[in-house]
Chain A
Amino acid sequence: SQQGEEDPQALSIQEGENATMNCSYKTSINNLQWYRQNSGRGLVHLILIRSNEREKHSGRLRVTLDTSKKSSSLLITASRAADTASYFCATGLSGSARQLTFGSGTQLTVLP
């Protein structure tokens, strides 16, 4: 079974609201990353959190990591229509940190 699984699979919110996406994984990790993908395009790296970190911020993004629960969350604050995209978590495992395992993604729709 896959390493990373996002929840929910789809999320629809109004512009200005916050969006929270969750990711669960199964094995020990070196790092966890979040990527964004606009329809039919390549993935864009958003933020990386290492296994010894608990929280990280980048602009309107906030990522948390709970290694005891093997879970992470991505919070996008004050969402905009341009945030509409698919969001993926990817885990780099201890021992092979550069080979990432991706989840199925959360499709976020921000309504204007």
Chain B
Amino acid sequence: ETGVTQTPRHLVMGMTNKKSLKCEQHLGHNAMYWYKQSAKKPLELMFVYSLEERVENNSVPSRFSPECPNSSHLFLHLHTLQPEDSALYLCASSQYGTSSYEQYFGPGTRLTVT
């Protein structure tokens, strides 16, 4: 257990559905991240929330919409996805503003778009 939980662990959705992924961290961190991991590709950073600032990877399509209501919770809202969006979506957290740079990852949500 890393202190970062993700729900659901598995999700199958059609291209016209709307769903949300949830992440919660119990580590008292103040930065949270969404990553996409596709087969045979490096982890792709999608979004960062840090000290109420949002950093976005410009290559992420608008059908992915993040929400960070507080420092412990992070959501990824999904709508009208494409089959190529099928991947493992990982959430991570870290403590911004200290000399500690390591990130703590959740177990991921395996998303399949049909």
Q: Mark A45-59, 1 if CB is under 8 A from B, else 0.
A: 100100000000000
- Chain B contributes a number of interface residues (CB within 8 A of A) equal to 26
Interface size class of A (residues with CB under 8 A): 20 to 34
B43: Cβ under 8 A from any A Cβ = yes
A2 to B42, CA, bound (A): 8
Measured between C-beta atoms, what is the minimum distance from A50 to chain B in Å? 9
Q: Which residue of A lies closest to B90 (CB)?
A: A42
B88: Cβ under 8 A from any A Cβ = yes
User: Which residues of B sit under 8 angstroms from A88, Cβ to Cβ?
Assistant: 42-43
User: Which residues of B sit under 8 angstroms from A45, Cβ to Cβ?
Assistant: 102-104
- The answer to whether A100 and B4 have CB atoms under 8 Å apart is no
Interface positions of A from 66 to 112, Cβ below 8 Å from B: 88, 90, 92, 97-105
Determine chain A's interface SS by DSSP, over half rule.
Answer: strand
A60: Cβ under 8 A from any B Cβ = no
- The answer to whether A43 and B90 have CB atoms under 8 Å apart is yes
Most buried by A among B45, B50, B105: B105
- The answer to whether B45 and A40 have CB atoms under 8 Å apart is no
User: Which residues of B sit under 8 angstroms from A103, Cβ to Cβ?
Assistant: 42
Measured between C-beta atoms, what is the minimum distance from B71 to chain A in Å? 14
User: Which residues of A sit under 8 angstroms from B90, Cβ to Cβ?
Assistant: 42-43
Most buried by A among B94, B101, B105, B108: B101
Measured between C-beta atoms, what is the minimum distance from A103 to chain B in Å? 6
Interface positions of A from 21 to 55, Cβ below 8 Å from B: 30-31, 33, 35, 40-45, 48
- The answer to whether A42 and B107 have CB atoms under 8 Å apart is yes
Measured between C-beta atoms, what is the minimum distance from A89 to chain B in Å? 10
- The answer to whether B101 and A44 have CB atoms under 8 Å apart is no
Q: Which residue of B lies closest to A5 (CB)?
A: B42
Measured between C-beta atoms, what is the minimum distance from B34 to chain A in Å? 12
- The answer to whether B94 and A98 have CB atoms under 8 Å apart is yes
Chain A residues near B (Cβ < 8 Å): 2, 4, 30-31, 33, 35, 40-45, 48, 88, 90, 92, 97-105
Pairs A-B, 3 closest by C-beta atoms:
A42-B105, A102-B43, A45-B102
